[in-house]
Structure 1
Amino acid sequence: MELKLHRPICFFDLETTGTDICKDRIVEISILKVYPNGNKESRTWLVNPERPIPPQTIAFHGITDEKVANEPIFKELAHTIYNMIKDSDLGGYNSDRFDIPLLAEELLRADVDFDMKGRVSVDVQTIFHKKEERTLSAAYKFYCGQVLENAHSAEADTNATYEILKSQLDRYDDLENDIRSLSEYTTRKVNVDFAGFIVKDKDGDEIFTFGKHKGAKVEKVLEQEPGYYGWIQNADFPLYTKKVLTAIKLRKLNNKLA
């Protein structure tokens, strides 16, 4: 089943130096852009992470320091990548918890003001885990009847993710062929930031999910303990979390001035 699209969607996959969203870096990124008319555009880049790639990570994806030594650093690619995805929804495998947060960090470090406003994301892994509980390779075999060659190469994983989603729509009648509906289905919780340090409560208000203010409303904490904002900004939190917290603080200030 082909996707019913009202706007483009970019399926993408990252290979990285590790799994720490704040500290690790991209070494390969592949993007498959699918347009509402069915046309596709695909790009893959190797990226110099400006740091050694750990041996255990090399064993996973096979990308060595030597392979990326003469490749561009992410900052040199950031605007090209952003221009490819800026008008699109996003899709991936485990993308809501890893690929999108890490890509956001890389873009913000490169001074590209990325956010998810006006777009949605579809995490194909969540559909798979809700329905079948398997890995990407098993999902590809289960849904598409094929063996995933070159697993853990960004391009192979990206294309497999796109094919799996189409097959999932064929298999499950209760899945609506609509990107916003699929996004809602694959959303695990209502995060305000990607990392889940700030979420919305049942009333739709932002609350902290960590530390001494866990469960407290963000606006109330910022009002009663202004220094907490500065502590987060200077601590080892994701850049996107800091960006979201600043937006909440400025919104509260603007409401006071209005």
Structure 2
Amino acid sequence: MSWITGPLVAFDLETTGTDVETDRIVTAAVVRLEPDGAVSAERTWLLDPGVAIPEQASAIHGISTDHAREHGVPPASAVEDIARAVTEVLRSGTPVVVMNARYDLSLLDRECRRHGLESVTERLGGVPSPVIDPLVLDKHVDRYRKGRRALHALCAHYGVSLDDAHDARADAVAAARVVRRMGEKYQSVGAMSLTALQELQVRAAAGQAASLQAYLRRTADPAAVVEPAWPVVPRSPRTGPAETPREREPGGPETAPPSGTAPGQAP
């Protein structure tokens, strides 16, 4: 049985910014979709992140500092619940769909460390798997398509509705439906085992990072470093953030690296 005919669980975060080393979770969702696309179970969280939420982030996901402080739960307890929920799904063997996984899963990893909790990697005893990332897969199956690869753009391309963008639950549901459509359209990935699909995404993400790094070094910063690891970026002792391939504005998946380009070509 192909993974596209089974259940999928989607995970999404809305945050205070785009740096996995310093930013915080504001909202989170873990949603189970059945093979027909119906939502059969869901959990959502609103956190008081313990820091002010920048206006730019609030403008995107709609959560202000005052609202989070009044209605959000303490971050440590919420992060524990979120990490446990994601771990339980992965242990069951059900794939977890995460748009731009190396951002959301890495930020969850840092939040666990910040609060003295076991990370998902530590709980599993290895790299989170099986994970399915619509961003990495779309760039792999349709490498030279021009245009943005943010979630709203993928929804438009694959014919999936996204009625409340930057709401963690809505984004999670849309990501799962996108990846199922992708698997149906591209049997080269839809027919893969989850183990093979995980290995493919590790290779594809590294190749995409190398291509972006080369582009940045030619056009913007000769010393640019783009992190190749997927689905979790290793914690770094560096003082300044390296480039992480992402499609995010603060609070949601948006800002797009170059796409629709061949290696060695500018966009």
TM tier, smaller: 0.5 to 0.7
CA contact (8 A) 2:98 2:175 kept: yes
Gaps of 5+ in 2: 91-95, 207-227, 242-267
Deviation digits for residues 42-97 of structure 1 (CA, Å, limit 9, x no counterpart): 111111111111111112222111221121122022332232122333321111x2
CA contact (8 A) 2:26 2:47 kept: yes
Counterpart-to-counterpart distance in 2, 1:45 and 1:197: 25
CA contact (8 A) 1:3 1:177 kept: no
Q: Say whether residues 1:14 and 2:13 are aligned partners.
A: yes
In structure 1, give the amino acid aligned to 2:229: N
Matching of residues 19-98 of structure 1 within 5 Å: 19-33=18-32, 40-70=40-70, 71-89=72-90, 90-95=96-101, 97-98=102-103
SS in 2 for 1:69: helix
Q: Comparing both chains, which one has the higher relative contact order based on Cα–Cα distances under 8 Å and sequence gaps of 6 or more?
A: 2
Computed over aligned residues only, the root mean square deviation of the Cα atoms, in angstroms, reads 3.1
Match of 2:232 in 1: 194
Match of 1:100 in 2: 105
Match of 1:125 in 2: 135
- In the superposition, the TM-score normalised over structure 2's length comes to 0.65
Counterpart-to-counterpart distance in 2, 1:157 and 1:138: 12
Counterpart-to-counterpart distance in 2, 1:31 and 1:139: 20
Match of 1:213 in 2: none
Aligned length in residues: 199
- In the superposition, the TM-score normalised over structure 1's length comes to 0.67
Question: Which of residues 142, 152, 169 is equivalent to 2:157?
Answer: 142
Q: Compare 73-82 and 21-30 and name the one that shifted more.
A: 73-82
Q: Percent identity?
A: 26
Q: Say whether residues 1:160 and 2:161 are aligned partners.
A: no
Change (3 A) 1:10 1:104: farther
Change (3 A) 1:192 1:129: closer
SS in 1 for 2:187: coil
